[in-house]
Amino acid sequence: MTTIATRFAPSPTGYLHIGGARTAIFCWLFARKNKGRFILRVEDTDQQRSTPEMTGAILDAMNWLGLDCDEGPFFQSERTSLYLEYIQKLVESGNAYHCTCTPEEVERMREQARQKGQKPKYNGQCRDAGIKPGPDTVVRLKAPLTGRTMFRDLVKGPISFDNQELDDFVLQRKDGSPTYNLAVVVDDIEMKMTHILRGDDHINNTPKQILIYQALGADLPLFGHVPMILGPDKKKLSKRHGALSVMAYKEMGYLPEAMLNYLVRLGWSYQDEEIFSRQDLIEKFSLDNLGSSACVFDVNKLTWLNSHYIKETAISRLADILTEHLAPELIPNDRSYLEQIIPLLQTRAGTMQEMAEMAEFFLVEDTNLAFDNKAVAKFLTPEAKEYLKEIAFRLDNNLNEFDQNSLEQEFSAYIQEKKIKFKAIAQPLRVAISGKTASPGLFETMEVLGREKVLNRLKRASG
Rg of the chain over all Cα atoms, to the nearest angstrom? 32
Is 142 a known active-site residue?
no
For helices 180-190 and 80-92, the axis angle rounded to 10 degrees is 100
Catalytic residue among 119, 192, 236, 239: 239
Smallest gap from residue 264 Cβ to ligand GLU (A): 18
Q: Could you give the CA distance from residue 439 to residue 437 in angstroms, rounded to a whole number?
A: 7
Q: Which is nearer to ligand GLU, 79 or 202 (CB)?
A: 202
Site size with ligand GLU, rule: CB under 6 A? 7
Query: Smallest gap, in angstroms, from Cβ of residue 170 to ligand GLU?
Result: 18
Q: Binding ligand GLU by CB under 6 A: which of 4, 5, 6, 9?
A: 9
Q: How far is the CB of 200 from ligand GLU (least distance, A)?
A: 11
- Side chain identity at residue 220, one-letter code: L
Report the candidate in 239, 287, 280, 230 with the shortest Cα–Cα distance to residue 260. 280
Judged by beta carbon, residue 266 or residue 433, the one nearer ligand GLU is 266
Question: Looking at beta carbons only, is 71 or 283 nearer to ligand GLU?
Answer: 71
As measured in angstroms, the least distance from the Cβ of 267 to ligand GLU is 16
How far apart are CB 10 and ligand GLU at their closest, in Å? 5
Q: Is the CB of 9 or the CB of 229 nearer to ligand GLU? A: 9
Considering only the stretches 9-17, 47-55, 111-119, 247-255, report the one whose residues sit in contact with ligand GLU under the rule CB under 6 A. Answer: 9-17
Please report, for residues 96, 97, 126, the alpha-carbon distance to residue 138 in angstroms, rounded to integers and kept in the order given. 10, 8, 10
Q: Which of 4, 10, 59, 64 binds ligand GLU (CB under 6 A)?
A: 10
State the minimum distance, in angstroms, from the CB of residue 246 to ligand GLU.
14
- Pick the closer one to ligand GLU by CB: 11 or 261: 11
Question: Considering Cα of 395, then 401, then 406, then 407, what sign does the dihedral take?
Answer: positive
In the bound state with ligand GLU, the residue whose beta carbon lies nearer, of 50 and 95, is 50
Q: How far is the CB of 357 from ligand GLU (least distance, A)?
A: 36
Closest CA to 356 of 444, 204, 263, 251: 251
**Quick one: 43 or 257, whose CB is closer to ligand GLU?**
43
Strands 170-172 and 138-141: antiparallel
* Chain mean position to CA 49: 21
Least Å from the CB of residue 20 to ligand GLU: 7
3 state SS for 271-297: CCCCCCCHHHHHHHCCHHHECCCCEEC
Length of the chain: 463
The DSSP bridge partners found for residue 153 are 157
d(CA 388, CA 130): 97
Question: Exposed (0-12), middle (13-18) or buried (19+): which is 127, by Cβ within 10 Å?
Answer: middle
Residues between 191 and 210 with contacts to ligand GLU, criterion CB under 6 A:
198, 202
Piece of the chain touching ligand GLU by CB under 6 A; list 7-15, 96-104, 302-310, 453-461: 7-15
Of 16, 21, 28, 19, give the one whose Cα is nearest residue 281.
28
**Cβ-based neighbours of 337, under 8 Å, separated by 6 or more:** 362, 448
Please give the backbone phi and psi of residue 33, each rounded to the nearest 5 degrees, phi first.
-60, -40
265 burial type by CB count under 10 A (0-12 exposed, 13-18 middle, 19+ buried): buried
Our CB check for ligand GLU shows the closer of 72 and 120 to be 72
Give the angle subtended at the CA of 231 by the CAs of 228 and 235, to the nearest 5°. 70
Binding segment for ligand GLU (CB under 6 A), chosen from 6-14, 81-89, 294-302, 400-408, is: 6-14
Q: Which range binds ligand GLU by CB under 6 A, 4-12, 133-141, 409-417, 455-463?
A: 4-12
Nearest approach in angstroms of CB 405 to ligand GLU is 59
From 5-13, 279-287, 351-359, 410-418, give the range in contact with ligand GLU by CB under 6 A.
5-13
Q: Please say which residue, 17 or 457, places its beta carbon nearer to ligand GLU.
A: 17
Among 6, 11, 95, 303, binds ligand GLU (CB under 6 A): 11
Q: Which residue is nearest to ligand GLU (CB)?
A: 198
Interacting residues with ligand GLU between 24 and 83 (CB under 6 A)? 43
Q: Which 3 state secondary structure label does DSSP give 161? A: strand
- Tell me, residue by residue from 150 to 189, as one string, x for binding to ligand GLU by CB under 6 A and - for no binding: ----------------------------------x-----
Residues in the site for ligand GLU, rule: CB under 6 A?
A: 9-11, 43, 184, 198, 202
Q: Report, as residue numbers or ranges, the catalytic residues.
A: 239
